[in-house]
Amino acid sequence: MEPIRLDEIVARLGGELTGDGSRTIRQIATLAHAGPDEISFLANPHYRDQLAATRAGAVILTADAVVDCPVTCIVSSDPYSYYAHLAQWLNPVASASPGIHPDATVDSVLPASVSVAAGARIGADVRIGEGTRIGPGCVIGNGSTIGGNTLLHANVTIYAGCSIGTRVIIHSGAVIGADGFGFARQREGEAASQWLKIPQIGGVVIGDDVEIGANTCIDRGALEDTLIEEGVKLDNLIQVGHNVKIGAHSALAGCVGIAGSAQIGRRCTVGGGAVILGHLTIADDVNISAGTLVAKSIQKAGTYTGTIPFLEHAEWLKNFARLRHLDAMGDKIRTLETRLAALEKKN
Residues tagged active-site: 242
Residues near 317 by beta carbon (within 8 Å), at least 6 away in sequence: none
Identify how many contiguous H helices and E strands the chain contains and give both numbers.
4, 38
CA distance 118 to 137: 7
Q: What is the DSSP string of 147-207?
A: -TT-EE-TT-EE-TT-EE-TT-EE-TT-EEEEPP--EEE--SSTTTTPEEEPP----EEE-
Strands of the sheet with 99-100, listed across from one edge: 99-100, 115-116, 133-134, 151-152, 169-170, 211-212, 233-234, 251-252, 269-270, 286-288, 302-304
The DSSP symbol for 77 reads S
CA distance 177 to 278: 18
Distances (CA, A) of 193 to 179, 261, 345: 22, 25, 67
CA distance 163 to 186: 34
Residues near 285 by beta carbon (within 8 Å), at least 6 away in sequence: 265, 266, 267, 268, 301, 302
Helix (H), strand (E) at residue 6: helix 6-13
